[in-house]
Structure 1
Amino acid sequence: MRPSMRACAAVTVALGIIGPIAGCSSPEEAPSDAHTSAPTPKQEKPAKAPKGDVKAPVIGVGKSGTYTTVDSYSGAKTTMSVTLHSVKYVTPDEIGGSTPKGRFAVLTVEVKNVGSKDGGFHPYGMMKWEDASTAAQEASTLENTGTQDVDTTYHPGQAVTGDVVLDVPRKGGKALYRDQLGPESIVFALPSK
């Protein structure tokens, strides 16, 4: 092979190796990257999801509602049913509790796992109260009435009936339960008397 051909071959080989390497970091490829990740309409679909979101059921005394709970570790979903049997406004002396900021409301609820996976109902720290004139306020308490503890994990078919004691500013309004950080899972309509 002649020296000029060797030089030409060496340049060709060098360009063959350097060309793709240089091409990988070329700023000219940024638009094509944007083009390949252009399924932007697919990424926008979750933004449209609120139209299909189910509003939290609002239940009054004697009524039931269901919500879907998602296990934070496994992602497994199951359906929980909650029945509001009664609401009673009590004084601290009636439950042997501390002094509330407002008044104590005792909600007697029945919680049942009607799904096929384990699921939880954990009201402590996840209950708020609001009405037409007052924005949502933390309502959870550590008070109890000595009934069964509904704050637990339920296997499919298991149920517990017990009390949830809330500290609410006044009678009436709504108690909002959030299963996780997000929108309400279930809303309890509280009587005004």
Structure 2
Amino acid sequence: MKTPLVAVGKSGTYTADDSATHAKTKMQITLKDVKAVTPSQIDTTTKPKGLYVVLTLTVKNVGSKDGGFHPYGLMKWEDEQTAEQDASTLEKTGAGQDVDTTYRPGQSVTGDVVLDVPRMGGRVNFYDGLEAASLAFELPAD
């Protein structure tokens, strides 16, 4: 199955699988914005290995069972020249709500995920399981 690629302003869905109960539900993620930021813009003194990029996401449970979105450690960046690299950080922007949570059917949250990527462009793959990426987010090249 091909991984859906989500561009800014677009949405994609995937089936969330609860690792404890194995309950499955449909989750929808909308990529609202992508922007490169400096450490001072997200109130951190930690220097990125590459470039801090903020993804503003709206996560919604469009299924019939509880489902989670837990991006930490599950976001990996790649492009045509570079193999997948872990892009996860624990950094926060202070804007929006925390998208890393469990959602009951119909619930949604809009908030930011801060990533550390080598450069703009490429894609960020999100893994909700051990197999293929569940969704991918397109990063603009500029």
Provide the TM-score with structure 1 as the length reference: 0.71
Report 1 or 2 for greater relative contact order, CA contacts < 8 Å, sequence distance ≥ 6: 2
Structure 2 residue corresponding to 1:118, chosen from 58, 66, 71: 66
Instruction: Give the counterpart letter for 2:127 in structure 1.
Output: R
2:76 aligned residue: 128
The runs of 5 or more residues in structure 2 that have no matched partner are none
Cα deviation per residue 1:81-106 (whole Å; 9 max; x = unaligned)? 00000000011111112100000000
1:11 aligned residue: none
Aligned positions, number = 140
Alignment of 1:165 onto 2:117 = no
Map 1:1-193 → 2, pairs under 5 A: 54-97=1-44, 98-146=46-94, 147-193=96-142
Shift of 1:181: 1.8
Q: More deviation in 72-81 or 122-131?
A: 72-81
The runs of 5 or more residues in structure 1 that have no matched partner are 1-53
Contact 1:132 1:173 in 2 (8 A): yes
Shift of 1:55: 1.8
- Partners of 1:96 and 1:111 lie apart in 2 by 24
Shift of 1:159: 0.2
Contact 1:78 1:119 in 2 (8 A): yes
Contact 1:56 1:67 in 2 (8 A): no
- Partners of 1:104 and 1:71 lie apart in 2 by 29
- Partners of 1:74 and 1:96 lie apart in 2 by 37
Structure 1 runs, 4 residues or longer, greater than 3 Å off: none
Instruction: Give the counterpart letter for 1:102 in structure 2.
Output: G
Aligned-CA RMSD value: 0.7
More helix as a share of residues: 1
Shift of 1:70: 1.1
1:27 aligned residue: none
Instruction: Give the counterpart letter for 1:134 in structure 2.
Output: T
- Partners of 1:168 and 1:100 lie apart in 2 by 8
- Partners of 2:50 and 2:17 lie apart in 1 by 33
- Partners of 2:64 and 2:20 lie apart in 1 by 17
